[in-house]
């Protein structure tokens, strides 16, 4: 718990600094006290209460920023954000988040069972932002020195909550979706060219199909996709 508290307090500090708060340490102490009171009142684990306070703070800052500077538009339209999209490297426990990030349109690498040393090597090689729930990793010099950009995520959150947090922390919007399996770009293909790969029922009602340019997986926007998209849109709402 000590490490999670430290990591959460580190996020409070960073967020307060981002908005130019003058008495940062006082703010951090106040937020930590809020979490303690919340834990007592609602009988929550201290780590869960800290996570809630962090999300609440981030939500408030996000809406404040959002009002002044809207994030990139959602959907598959032609408008793309001017800045290059960050590339993410998820730690061994964040396979679910990697899939959600790809659906939100971002390159996200996840290697099952990857060691911390290898994770840091890959992050440097790819120039990627490391996403981790491991507060111990924050002690590594490459992260402490800021040579490897990173974001710590509270371990209590599920994948959709983690995604909302990443997008809000980095001020990112939804981009055209990528392949959820491998992160490759999707290319629209004429229905007839993939006829033998489409189940007959789907063929009858669905006209739009996409192929992954990397792993060749076929996608169409069925009801499952609609649910994912709705959840993604909530992440940036």
Nearer to Zn ion, 94 or 211 (CB): 211
Contact map string, positions 62 to 101, toward Zn ion, x by CB under 5 A: ----------------------------------------
CA atoms of 173 and 187, how far apart (whole Å):
21
> Three-class SS of residue 174?
coil
Q: How far is the CB of 187 from Zn ion (least distance, A)?
A: 11
Nearer residue to Zn ion within complex by CB, 15 or 212? 212
Q: Under the phi-then-psi rule, with left for phi > 0, alpha for psi from -120 to 50, and beta for the rest, what region is 113?
A: left
Minimal CA–CA distance to 135: which of 75, 77, 91? 91
Distance CA 119, CA 116 (A): 5
> Which parts of 217-236 interact with Zn ion (CB under 5 A)?
217
Measured CA to CA, the distance from residue 152 to residue 18 in angstroms comes to 16
Query: Which residues 155-194 are close enough to bind Zn ion by CB under 5 A?
Result: 179, 181-182, 184
Of residues 128 and 211, the one with the C-beta less far from Zn ion: 211
**Among the listed residues 97, 206, 216, the one whose alpha carbon sits nearest the alpha carbon of residue 160:** 97
Does position 5 interact with Zn ion (CB under 5 A)? The reply is no
Cα–chain-centroid distance for residue 33?
27
DSSP assignment of 187-218 equals EEE-GGGGGGGS-HHHHHH---EEEETTT--E
**In the complex, least distance from residue 208 CB atom to Zn ion, rounded to whole angstroms:** 17
- Contact region for Zn ion (CB under 5 A) — 43-51, 140-148, 149-157, 207-215? 207-215
CB of 107 vs Zn ion, minimal distance in Å: 11
Beta-carbon-side half-sphere exposure of residue 172 (alpha carbons within 13 Å): 21
Smallest gap, in angstroms, from Cβ of residue 78 to Zn ion? 23
Least distance from Zn ion to the Cβ atom of residue 98, Å:
12
Considering only 50, 212, 228, 232, the residue that binds Zn ion (CB under 5 A) is: 212
Find, among 111, 152, 145, the residue nearest to 130 by Cα: 152
Q: Which of 17, 45, 215, 237 binds Zn ion (CB under 5 A)?
A: 215
CA distances from 196 to 13, 102, 160 (A): 55, 26, 34
Q: How far is the CB of 118 from Zn ion (least distance, A)?
A: 22
Contact residues for Zn ion, defined by CB under 5 A: 179, 181-182, 184, 212, 214-215, 217
């Amino acid at each position: 718990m000590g490490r999670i508290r430290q990591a959460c307090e580190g996020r409070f500090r960073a967020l307060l600094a981002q908005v130019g708060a003058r008495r940062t340490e006082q703010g951090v102490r106040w937020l930590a006290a809020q979490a303690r009171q919340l834990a007592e009142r609602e009988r929550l684990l201290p780590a869960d209460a800290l996570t809630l306070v962090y999300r609440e703070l981030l939500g408030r800052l996000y809406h404040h920023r959002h009002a002044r500077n809207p994030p990139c538009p959602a959907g598959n339209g032609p408008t793309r954000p001017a800045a290059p999209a960050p590339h993410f490297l998820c730690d061994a426990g964040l396979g679910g988040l990697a899939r959600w990030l790809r659906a939100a349109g971002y390159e996200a690498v996840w290697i099952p069972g990857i060691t911390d040393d290898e994770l840091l090597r890959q992050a440097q090689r790819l120039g990627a932002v490391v996403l981790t729930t491991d507060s111990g990793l924050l002690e590594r010099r490459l992260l402490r020195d800021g040579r490897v950009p990173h974001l710590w995520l509270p371990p209590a959150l599920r994948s959709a909550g983690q995604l909302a947090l990443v997008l809000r922390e980095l001020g990112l919007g939804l981009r055209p979706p990528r392949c959820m399996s491998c992160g490759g770009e999707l290319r629209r293909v004429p229905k007839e060219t993939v006829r033998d790969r489409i189940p007959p029922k789907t063929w009858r009602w669905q006209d739009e199909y996409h192929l992954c340019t990397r792993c060749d997986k076929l996608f169409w926007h069925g009801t499952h996709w609609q649910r994912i998209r709705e959840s993604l849109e909530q992440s940036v709402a």
